[in-house]
Amino acid sequence: MKRALWVLTPLLAVLFVIPLGAAVTLAAVITPVAAEQARLNGCGTTVAASGSWRPPFQQAYVRTSHYGNRFHPIEHVWRLHSGTDLVSQPGPGPVVAVSTGTVVTAAYRGGYGNAVDVDHGGGITSRYAHLARIDPTITVGATVTAGQVLGVEGSTGASTGNHLHLEILNNGDPVDPVPFMADRGAPLDGRAVAPTPTTNTPRDVEGGIGFDLPPAGTPRLASLTTPPATITAPVKALYVAAAQKYQLPWTLLAAIGMEETAHGRTTATSTAGAQGLMQFMPATFAAHGVDGDSDGAASIRSDADSVFSAASYLTQSGVTKGPDGVRNALYAYNHATWYVNDVLHYAHAYGGGLVLGDPGSCAGGEGNPNLTPLPADQVAALLAWAEQQTGDQYVFGANGPDAWDCSSFTQAAYRHIGLTLPRTAGAQRDWLAAGGGARIPPGKERPGDLIFWDSYLGPNAIGHVVIVQNPTTRTTFEAKNPHAGVGTFSYAGVAKGKHIYEIWRPGATEGAQ
């Protein structure tokens, strides 16, 4: 069961020496620092939305009516206005889904006119009313993604003019859409938001977001004349096994195998000196080769070692950092644009696939050791909010309010004090490394610091994030897993079994007072 937000544990009282009475007003006292931080997202750029939620318009708009009791313009009685009204500028435009979900209603509904309801899981439903028309692809049971067009803004039903009536329902009860959307990094502030790309649509997965392999571009070379070859069962088994370990589409490994040696059909050393099924240069393999078949040695001529080493090298090269990350990783593998496009062409020929990563991830860096730490009252508010969520569920891809995954929980905790982190654990770490935080040596952590380590995404990718609760007892606040849910856990001894283990301290942004 959740605890009242104002009840601080004895630990927090000792650490921050804040009277209980002051804790009641913490959320309201988060002032100029938070105001400055709230404008930052991703890699420090100003954006209108982040993560897997977005406003329901691509175009600019204004809010013309708010949630709450009002005098109904048609029925002339006081009643609850259960949503917010948004009007496109300069004229009616497409209405899009605010997040991924399943269509549960798409029909004319009396006063709502043409309306669409989308179930986002966790008891959350979004409703889009008064549409001029519903897109023909929007049918009951269909899955829609954030940014997918649902229909066109209109004035059907009980309406006095073109607008979108947006409702958010929590277990069937309407809530104010404005703070709800702001809490999810998608404020209804009237700004235009670019259409969500259809070829790289973010999808909810563990840790938050996945994206499709980018399409092949031009120029291409070998793939123009050589069709994709069949893959023998033993070689495909290696592609699949390596892809599972490093959480990549197996088709991407198959595409490299096709481009390099037609899946092992070519066995000679290349004119440049590259060897093996995936064609590694000896020096590169010496630095990055892994023991894929667990025989105790990494051999450049072993098919298993070659395939697993390719998967490892791609993840080390940033393949999960959005569509550009995929291209950059392939370019690191072989420095030629035509090579990148050939591989992507073959990958799609073999079926394409989803990359578990964040299309908005930063490039990373070393952080900012001179960054001003967050004020103690903000850290206390963050920890109090995290403690309040004890007992919530862990659900892959969930964004609250009663179900989270590890990174959405961390994102929401920091958003509570005005600092907007990216959606996934890996992107959060990269955001901090790009200047949003300072790297902290193990043993020097403080309450509110973030610890990242590799998890389900493989040994070269961050897959889990926790908030330090008490460094003395080495305890955390975190969304742990589907079995344990959200609560307080221990990070003692975790570092010993991890390839990646990093501690970061988010800080006040430049210009904050």
Express each pLDDT in 240-253 by its tens digit. Answer: 999 988 888 999 99
Residue 140: pLDDT over 50: yes
Q: Which residue has the higher pLDDT, 123 or 513?
A: 123
Among candidate residues 252, 178, 260, 250, the one with its CA nearest the CA of residue 226: 260
User: CA–CA separation, 339 vs 213, rounded Å?
Assistant: 15
Sheet harboring 475-481: ordered strands across? Answer: 437-440, 501-506, 450-454, 462-470, 475-481, 485-490
* Residue (of 375, 378, 373) closest to 23 by Cα position: 378
Strongest mean pLDDT among 75-79, 233-237, 395-399:
233-237
- Which of 261, 241, 263 is closest to 311 using CA atoms? 241
Confirm if 500 and 452 have CB atoms less than 8 A apart. Answer: yes
pLDDT of residue 422: 83
Q: Which 3 state secondary structure label does DSSP give 82?
A: coil
pLDDT over 60 at 79, yes or no? yes
Which bin fits 61, alpha (ψ -120 to 50), beta or left (φ > 0)? Answer: beta
Average pLDDT over residues 350-371: 78
pLDDT at residue 285 above 90? Answer: yes
Shortest CA distance to 482 belongs to which of 363, 398, 422, 380?
Answer: 398
Determine the average pLDDT of the residues in 76-101: 86
Instruction: Tell me the mean pLDDT in the region 337-347.
Output: 96
**From 33-47, 60-74, 148-162, 299-313, the region with the lowest mean pLDDT:** 33-47
- Nearby residues of 124 by Cβ (< 8 Å), 6 or more positions away: 168, 169, 170, 401
Instruction: Look at residue 250 in the predicted model and tell me its pLDDT.
Output: 94
- 49: confidence class by pLDDT, cuts 50, 70, 90: very low
- Kindly state the tokens that stand for 161: 């003019």
- The residue type found at 506 is P
Report the 10 Å Cβ neighbour count for 8.
23
Summarize pLDDT for 481-512 with one digit per residue, the tens. Answer: 888 999 999 999 999 989 999 999 998 754 33
Beta strand residue intervals within 308-445, DSSP E: 354-356, 393-394, 403-404, 437-440
Average pLDDT (344-364) is: 81
508 against 39, higher pLDDT: 508
pLDDT(10) > 60 = no
Q: In terms of pLDDT, which residue wins out, 388 or 160?
A: 388
Asked whether the predicted pLDDT for residue 13 surpasses 50, the reply is no
Q: Where are the chain's structural domains? A: 10-47+364-506, 61-201, 214-352
Q: Which of 335-339, 394-398, 435-439 has the highest mean pLDDT?
A: 335-339
Cα angle 425, 400, 38 (rounded to 5 degrees) comes to 65
Residue 396 pLDDT level (bands cut at 50, 70, 90): confident
**183 phi, psi to nearest 5 deg:** -65, -20
pLDDT bracket for residue 317 (50, 70, 90):
very high
Query: Is there a shared CATH topology between the 10-47+364-506 domain and the 61-201 domain?
Result: no
- What percentage of residues in the chain have a pLDDT greater than 90? 52
Residue 74 has a pLDDT of 62
CATH fold, domain 10-47+364-506, is endopeptidase fold (from Nostoc punctiforme) (3.90.1720)
Lowest mean pLDDT among 71-75, 219-223, 242-246: 71-75
CA 52/CA 206 separation, integer angstroms: 12
* pLDDT for residue 18: 31
Mean pLDDT of the chain: 83
CA–CA separation, 166 and 158 (whole Å): 14
Average pLDDT score over residue span 432-451: 93
pLDDT of 363 reads: 65
> Tokens representing 411?
């994102």
Q: Quick one: 369 exposed, middle or buried, by C-beta within 10 A (0-12, 13-18, 19+)?
A: exposed
The DSSP letter of residue 223 is G
Look at residue 136 in the predicted model and tell me its pLDDT: 84
Residue 21 Cα distances to 12, 62, 158, 339, angstroms: 14, 39, 47, 63
The pLDDT tens digits of the residues spanning 173-188 come to: 999 999 888 877 788 9
Q: What pLDDT was estimated at residue 56?
A: 94
Q: How far apart are CA 344 and CA 215, in angstroms?
A: 6
Domain range 61-201, its CATH number among 2.70.70.10, 3.10.20.30, 3.20.20.140, 1.10.10.10: 2.70.70.10
Q: At what angle do helices 322-333 and 250-261 cross, to 10 degrees?
A: 30
Residue 12 has pLDDT above 50, yes or no: no
Most confident of 120-134, 157-171, 376-390, 430-444: 376-390
Distance CA 457, CA 424 (A): 12
Residue 288: pLDDT band (50, 70, 90) is: very high
Report pLDDT for 148. 86
- The pLDDT value given to residue 50: 36
Residue 146 confidence (pLDDT): 82
Domain 214-352 has CATH 1.10.530.10: yes
Q: Name the pLDDT band for 196 (thresholds 50, 70, 90).
A: low
